[in-house]
Structure 1
Amino acid sequence: MNIASAKRADKFSFATVIGVVLILILTPVLVVNFTLIFKSFVYPNEVPGFLGYKPFIVLTGSMEPAFSSGDLVIVKEVEANNLQLDDIIAFREGNAVITHRIIEFEQNGSSYRFITKGDNNNIEDRRPVNVEQLEGQYIFRIRNLGNFAMFMQTPVGMALFIALPLLSFLLYDITRRTVHQRRQAQQTKNLEAELKKIQSQILTLDRFAKN
């Protein structure tokens, strides 16, 4: 293999690696995107989740320093009887979702409620939380991703959320095809040059034979 061929092979291999990386990254993103969008249409009054996990945007500083306004928190669906004191839970309060810490349990026979409070608040929340209000248990946060997530909930953001992975796949496919076509064209060119060389050698041998 000559130097030019080696360089072309390296470029082709690099494009292949990039393609594999894009597929590994973007395929899960597309699956999650379509799942969340589908669930948001089917269950408009519920927060869409994926594999039992739900994202929530923090709008206030009531839980500082655990997490701050503008953060994105991830909660996991959990059975109410598995929760303990000091756990942080997300629960519905009217049209909003609040993420506060459990400071007390209130039990009445077989049913119970949670008394919650924001870490940065001076008093506990006004009303106890019923089991039916529970959205999940806080798992972790992603700093400052909430504002970006709010943008992604707009029509433009939703369109980009779907379009960007698709465009990435499309650009990769175009690049892959272009590289393949150039490689094929170069191989054809090399083959034609080799044929001309052989024809020239045959003509030379033919002249020697006649002489």
Structure 2
Amino acid sequence: MKVLKGIGNTILFIITVLVVGIALLNFFSSPDGKGLLGYKGYTVLSDSMEPTISAGDYIIVSMTPFEEIEKNDIITYQESENTLVTHRAVEKTDEGLVTRGDANDTEDVRRVQANALIGEVRWVVPYLGQVMLFMRQPLFIIALMVVLILSLLVSYYRSGKAEHIPE
């Protein structure tokens, strides 16, 4: 039984570290932010990079300098104030990077300049973005709060402290 409890605690610790790490990565991932240890993380919202990256996947982007981007690298860049795009660099020209989504038939109209580049996609975590979007829903947050409160109450009553409350 001790072994199972130890394994369970280890798994819980690993999950906690991963959740906290992803939360910190998201916190530092604004387009003009510093990132976390040279990385930023984003949830993909469109299927323009199918089959390589799908909507709902979570990408971890290395803040690679513009000069190091090469043909066929998958990059994330800021297209407008509120829009980030993750597409493949298909050519490097004097006007900037020519990009195209793997699922698209045509190249993107705008050329990516150095000041718009966020970095190169290093890892894709399938479905994690969908989970993160779900966790932002009010119903999930309420359910989580209820579970936490119930957990605290059960723990309190199991500890025996509730028996010592004067009436």
Q: How does the TM-score come out when normalised to structure 1? A: 0.57
Q: Is the 8 A contact 2:25 2:39 kept in 1?
A: no
Name the residue aligned to 2:66. Answer: 80
Superposed CA offset, 1:87-124 (max 9, x none): 110001111111111111122xxxx6111111221211
Identify which of 30, 51, 67 aligns with 2:20: 30
- Shift, 1:81, TM fit: 1.0
The verdict on how the C-alpha distance between 1:36 and 1:152 changes in structure 2, with shifts beyond 3 A counting, is: farther
Identify which of 65, 84, 87 aligns with 1:97: 84
Give the residue type in structure 2 aligned to 1:130. Answer: Q
Q: Gaps spanning 5+ residues in structure 1: where?
A: 1-10, 182-211
Q: How far apart, in 1, do the equivalents of 2:13 and 2:69 lie?
A: 38
Q: Percent identity?
A: 32
Give the residue type in structure 2 aligned to 1:26. Answer: T
Q: How far apart, in 2, do the equivalents of 1:64 and 1:74 lie?
A: 17
Q: How far apart, in 1, do the equivalents of 2:50 and 2:133 lie?
A: 20
The verdict on how the C-alpha distance between 1:37 and 1:59 changes in structure 2, with shifts beyond 3 A counting, is: closer
Identify which of 45, 48, 56 aligns with 1:70: 56
Name the residue aligned to 1:58. Answer: 44
Q: How far apart, in 2, do the equivalents of 1:133 and 1:159 lie?
A: 38
Name the residue aligned to 1:5. Answer: none
Q: How far apart, in 2, do the equivalents of 1:25 and 1:53 lie?
A: 20
Q: How far apart, in 1, do the equivalents of 2:128 and 2:21 lie?
A: 20
Name the residue aligned to 1:119. Answer: 102
Q: How far apart, in 2, do the equivalents of 1:96 and 1:159 lie?
A: 30
Name the residue aligned to 1:18. Answer: 8
Q: How far apart, in 1, do the equivalents of 2:143 and 2:79 lie?
A: 31
Name the residue aligned to 2:163. Answer: none
What is the alpha-carbon root mean square deviation over aligned residues? 3.6
The verdict on how the C-alpha distance between 1:102 and 1:151 changes in structure 2, with shifts beyond 3 A counting, is: same
Give the residue type in structure 2 aligned to 1:74. Answer: I
Which structure dedicates a bigger proportion of its chain to helix? 1
Q: How far apart, in 2, do the equivalents of 1:159 and 1:137 lie?
A: 36
Q: How far apart, in 1, do the equivalents of 2:35 and 2:136 lie?
A: 14
Name the residue aligned to 1:189. Answer: none
Q: How far apart, in 2, do the equivalents of 1:39 and 1:13 lie?
A: 38
Q: How far apart, in 2, do the equivalents of 1:46 and 1:28 lie?
A: 24
Equivalence map 1:199-210=2 (5 Å): none
Q: Is the 8 A contact 2:57 2:129 kept in 1?
A: yes
Aligned length: 154
- Shift, 1:18, TM fit: 3.0
